[in-house]
Structure 1
């Protein structure tokens, strides 16, 4: 115990740097957990959380018997699967491409361009995407009409909505997420590349046998975290870009919680949905971590 406290005293300033993070999680993640009991009550503002009547599993029974709930869960999972297949590899590929550039001025220019969309809110970026795809004066439909193909109402057709969501996410966030992989790439020992060159390795062989193994730990950790969030999807992006005509493919748990919880004031029901998300998310991240432990030497815990 004394050794433990001596270690804390020795690195006290480093531990102080952890305090803002701990405070954030305490205030926004742990203290609100008290409100989970709303899922088992008929919450009433006048009576407060504790004095509202207990109803047991009533809200969960309603959820699991509500046909649209399964459609919403399906939409949430499918969009996350598409993101995992197409959006997750994009920053890895971009980081690998940027890492191969030798002209520093050109490399920094490209980095600045691809980073910039991240700093735009989804309200702004989503508005740009909607305007580009507008059937009246959108650039995409103007090009289609130029070639005689006719305009398409992209934002009101279910077949196009999910690809638009994933495509816009890739455009907006790929550059920013690539920073993590570029940092991991910078930590690879240059002597490994020199040894590979001496052995006669080609660029592709260096990529496969040196570069990718060097960032494997980062990829595995971020993949586990992504799988753990499979029951959630960014509210702001969907809310800005969807409309009632594409609810059948675009309505996800976060937007449904907003409509039912805030607009219809069914707080107990939406708390039940949130608890359902958390429980499934826990098992997903636990399962992904176990698989990572089994097939590699990297995991979160």
Structure 2
């Protein structure tokens, strides 16, 4: 009898919890409706396509479909790792990612700190608008502007070099100038947009902390070092972990627009290699295997970075 009563109580409690959950969802239906488009986006474009990863282990033929294509195991992965181009594109990808991490990642933080110190509201909004604008330009426009500026034929930069007594530099076809040109474009386009999250985190800092610091004689730099930066440290760590997860995801469009036969040795990365060696030649299984490899590496690095962050006393992302 006691067991039956306990079971009945458990069922009643469960139904009560479900009823309470439904009531809370109904009460906050506006919030759930707001997040519904985002959930649908991830479900349709991120989770459902995972079914297609199976073709990385098949000799996929479009006319046979996923269910009819023969299974070949790890053949495409073996081909990838034994390809002469593999270490070249791995080196290029890691070098460009390292430059992103070293040169680009700190720039939005520094820019956000500078904007946070601006006290003139109109000037601050004007500067923010100015640095946000490049983000809304496509990479086609950004690269086109670069071509006009750096062209050997009447390019502004080369014309200035000639006026100063130097020889023209073929920036667009040079292996040495490709990486600096790439990272400068990334900084110019994305640095301003990257400040949004940091500025939002800084806006949530208690003004009383700054007031107490000023009463103790702390100047602007000491306030930044001892109040602002520690307050946004968790945000910085979270974005850093997510950035590390994109180690092999530099984006296709930007690199492809800069890529040419003269700089291919330093410019070819996984994304462009998937397009040229995979999709253009109809090797769908091979290109999927490359994408699968990139995803696994990114996942492992995120987990490792998150574990290290927790060991260092930070919250991490999960």
Do they superpose with TM above 0.5? yes
1:73 and 2:90 matched: yes
**2:246·2:298 contact (CA, 8 Å) conserved in 1?**
yes
What does 1:248-287 align with in structure 2 at a 5 Å threshold? 248-287=265-304
Q: Which consecutive unaligned segments of at least 5 residues does structure 1 have?
A: none
TM-score with structure 1 setting the length? 0.97
Task: Tell me whether 57-66 or 100-109 shows the greater mean CA deviation.
Answer: 100-109
Pairing 1:115–2:132 present: yes
For 1:26 and 1:65, the matched residues in 2 are separated by: 35
How far the C-alpha of 1:10 sits from its partner, in A, is 2.8
Q: Distance in 2 between matches of 1:40 and 1:268?
A: 7
Describe how 1:150-189 pairs up with structure 2 within 5 A.
Answer: 150-189=167-206
Shift of 1:4: 3.2
Measure the CA separation in 2 of the matches of 1:177 and 1:251: 26
**Root-mean-square deviation (Å):** 1.1
Residue number in structure 2 paired with 1:31: 48
User: Partner of 1:211 in structure 2?
Assistant: 228
Q: Please give the alpha-carbon distance, in whole angstroms, between the structure 2 residues aligned to 1:42 and 1:217.
A: 45
More deviation, 102-111/192-201: 102-111
In 2: Cα distance, 1:87 partner to 1:130 partner: 21
Q: Which blocks of at least 5 consecutive residues in structure 2 are unaligned?
A: 1-16
CA apart distance, 1:70: 1.4
Q: 1:155–1:242: 8 Å Cα contact kept in structure 2?
A: no
Structure-to-structure mapping, 1:121-132, within 5 angstroms: 121-132=138-149
Confirm or deny that 1:230 pairs with 2:281: no
Q: Tell me how many residue pairs correspond in the alignment.
A: 301
Displacement of 1:64: 0.9
Contact 2:279–2:287 (Cα < 8 Å) also in 1: no
Residue 8 of structure 1 is matched in structure 2 by 25
Give the whole-Å Cα distance in 1 for the aligned partners of 2:259 and 2:147: 10
Is this contact kept in 2: 1:132–1:138, CA < 8 A? yes
- Contact 2:58–2:69 (CA<8 Å) still a contact in 1? yes
The whole-number CA distance in structure 2 between the counterparts of 1:281 and 1:162 is 22
Pairwise CA distance, 1:55? 1.0
- Matched with 2:11 is none
1 CA distance for matches of 2:177 and 2:313? 37
Q: TM-score, normalization: structure 2?
A: 0.92
